Chain A
């Protein structure tokens, strides 16, 4: 399979404290000129996205697809997966601001699957998701909780 390339564009005007930026999904056009700023990144978002929120969407999307792939490969394709991802950034003394944690809360509705089968698929999905791998490489802890909701 050929390499897959995705681009995003950002414009930023001004200094950090008072400046503002705009984020565009350049490859797909799925979103355009989403505004962001320092206050809305570190305090209340007030309707604005942030790098960490985009990472939450990326990790949620990556893990969910990996889990769908693992469940499909095991002969139990999911009826429905609901995944909530929470990314935490914190200031660590001597190291500045870091992404410190990703929490994935998975609700799976899968016919013919038991808790052990879900746990196995979740482990394989976390091992295989490209973004989970990067977080692991960077020493960012991922915490995964699961609820199996039975067949559909």
Chain B
């Protein structure tokens, strides 16, 4: 069954001097969140941006896919700490993505964890929508007990 998720965005004025707002999302989980070109392209000053939202979508999707793979192998994670980084070059596009995950996973060695993480990196639905990013790196480590 298909799943739909929605967001509403408004903008007033020119790109450089105007301002926008992610008014809200279908779930009601967040918003309104202000966005501006300056805070997207320079320091965020507390404002989110499309690239940060892509990073959030990616890290959350990756974490679910990795937990699924680990649980399927009989070793569900106690905890996964994932960071995603998205690098944007105005005029060129999104050039780089980086995923970093630290797992607390009883009964799993590092090569096995890395293998599952590589699978989640290519297999989660958000990753499959981001295959146009030229360079994607993965750093997967196990937390020391």
Contact = CB atoms under 8 A, between A and B. Distances in A.
Give the interface size class of chain B.
35 or more
Interface string B44-72: 11111111111111111111101110110
B13 to A, nearest CB: 6
A65 B35 contact: yes
B87 A4 contact: yes
A53 interface: yes
Contacts of A19: 67, 76-77
B8 interface: yes
B72 to A, nearest CB: 8
Interface string A83-118: 111111111000011111000000000000000000
Given A1-B89, A56-B5, A77-B13, A131 B54 contact: yes
B57 A58 contact: yes
B9 interface: yes
B10 A23 contact: no
A134 B94 contact: yes
Question: Among the interface residues B10, B42, B93, B125, which one has the most CB atoms of the partner chain A within 10 A?
Answer: B125
A3 B83 CA distance: 19
Interface in A54-93: 54-62, 64-65, 67-69, 72, 77-91
B41 to A, nearest CB: 6
The dominant DSSP class at the A interface is: mixed
A80 B88 CA distance: 26
B16 to A, nearest CB: 7
A26 B44 CA distance: 10
A17 B66 CA distance: 12
A128 to B, nearest CB: 9
B138 interface: no
Contacts of B35: 61, 65
Nearest to B128: A98
Contacts of B60: 8, 10, 21, 23, 36, 50-51, 54
Interface string B75-93: 0111111111111111101
A4 B50 contact: no
A117 B71 CA distance: 53
B142 to A, nearest CB: 15
16 contacts: A11-B79, A12-B80, A21-B64, A25-B56, A28-B39, A28-B45, A30-B48, A51-B60, A53-B6, A53-B27, A54-B53, A61-B22, A65-B15, A84-B8, A90-B3, A98-B129
Interface of B: 1-16, 18, 20, 22, 25-31, 33, 35, 37, 39-42, 44-64, 66-68, 70-71, 76-91, 93-96, 123, 125-126, 128-133
| Closest CB pairs A-B (n = 7) | A137-B132, A45-B27, A58-B53, A15-B71, A54-B57, A8-B56, A49-B29
